[in-house]
Amino acid sequence: MSVTTSDTGSAAEPYVRFQHVTKRFPGNGRRGTLTAIRDVSLEIARGEIFGVIGHSGAGKSTLVRLINGLETPSEGRVHVGPHEITALSERGRRGVRRDIGMIFQQFNLFQSRTVAGNVAYPLKVAGVGKADRDRRVARLLDFVGLLDRAHDHPEQLSGGQKQRVGIARALATEPSLLLADEATSALDPETTGEVLALLRRINRELGVTIVIITHELDVIRSVADRVAVLDGGQLVESGSLYEVFAHPRTEAAARFVGTTLRDRPSAATLARLRRAHSGRLVTFRVRDRTGFQTALAATFLRHEVAAEIVFGGISELQDRPVGSLTFELTGPPGAVDASLEALRADGVEPAEED
Ligand code: ADP
């Protein structure tokens, strides 16, 4: 398999480390074994927000359960902090798990307990005394903006508020690592934004390392420092958010990015553009370099090529431009080819839409 790791995105001090991890599940007889994770190696640095993206069934939840030791790899090793999870007894794993907070899509709150009772629960399990517990619960609820709802029950709260209770509960034991498995998938876009802002605060103010697992690229795009793309159990690409989005090196990553940025015409759009435009349709990825579009325009002008933008989109990621522009190019015989040749010589890579 090929794993592409960008050099700009290498982890500083690895906090979570997968070394050639494979996880197989026994199949249902008809299918034989099922490989959910296939030879995955990755490093997540202390203090970063790391995103894992992939379609449903790609192996994301299995990856999370390998980090917190709820699953054991069939092959390979998993390290979390100083511990090799794979070498620990169940008791040892429980100890490591105390340093890992988890939040879930369906919140998993106790309906019979109050908001404060839910947040207090892990502290109770850890044997923290009542006075200390009350103090910590109040501080946590204040942090997530729900101090005034302490005595309510979960059913009295909105989805976003429930997730904030889930987050406060996950932080109760002051974990170094927070795993968020599809934590915003049940929320509307505005509430998702609020929860993501809270996760950012947790990362920046409390220094908690966060791993976000999601099929929603917009989520990853707004919070992650680095990302990994899982496809069919394989880690097909990883690197800084910008590198993976601006320069996806694998087909699977490019497909993912395309569905989020929506900057490349779909097959249906392309067919419509062809009917409306008789010239050559050529797409350019936007470059993070001043004068890029001026250079394009100057080259077309020099070759007497008329260039009209017919599709595209530019947005920002980590304060840098990302996206692509599709041009209709028309001109005297050979002129379009000559202009594209000149651009290629200048390091620009035009993609002919066919
Ligand atoms: P994702 O979270 O990306 O949707 P999962 O990690 O849940 O993916 O699943 C990856 C694959 O592993 C799926 O084909 C799923 O059916 C299979 N799988 C996950 N857990 C088990 C299990 N306990 N037993 C058998 N198969 C499993």
Q: What's the pLDDT score for residue 31? A: 64
CA 16 – CA 211 distance, rounded (Å):
10
25 lines ligand 1 (CB under 6 A): yes
Q: Whose C-alpha lies nearest to ligand 1, atom 27?
A: 25
State the average pLDDT over residues 166-171: 96
Q: Which residue out of 22, 24, 25, 236 has the highest number of ligand 1 atoms within 8 Å of its CB and is therefore the one to mutate? A: 25
Q: What's the pLDDT score for residue 30? A: 66
| Closest by CA position to 231, among listed 61, 62, 60 | 60
Instruction: Spell out the domain ranges in the chain.
Output: 14-99+175-260, 262-353
pLDDT digits (tens, 9 = 90+) for 198-243: 999 999 999 999 999 998 888 888 899 999 999 999 999 999 988 8
60 lines ligand 1 (CB under 6 A): yes
The ligand 1 atom at the shortest distance from the C-alpha of residue 233 is 10
Residue 11 has pLDDT above 60, yes or no: no
State the average pLDDT over residues 179-191: 91
The arrangement of secondary structure in 14-99+175-260, i.e. its CATH architecture, is 3-Layer(aba) Sandwich (3.40)
Paired sense of beta strands 306-317 and 320-330, if any? antiparallel
CA 293 – CA 341 distance, rounded (Å):
16
Quick one: what percent of the chain has pLDDT higher than 90? 66
214 lines ligand 1 (CB under 6 A): no
Q: Report the top-level CATH class of 262-353.
A: alpha beta
Q: What's the pLDDT score for residue 258? A: 75
CA angle 246/291/9 to nearest 5° reads: 30
More confident residue, 31 or 67: 67
Confidence band for 6, pLDDT divided at 50, 70 and 90: very low
Residue 25 alpha carbon to ligand 1 centre in Å: 8
> What mean pLDDT is reported for the chain?
90
3 state DSSP class of 354: coil
Q: Whose C-alpha lies nearest to ligand 1, atom 16?
A: 57
Q: Which residues pair with 66 in a beta bridge?
A: none
119 lines ligand 1 (CB under 6 A): no
Q: Which residue out of 62, 72, 216 has the highest number of ligand 1 atoms within 8 Å of its CB and is therefore the one to mutate? A: 62
Residue 302 has pLDDT above 80, yes or no: yes
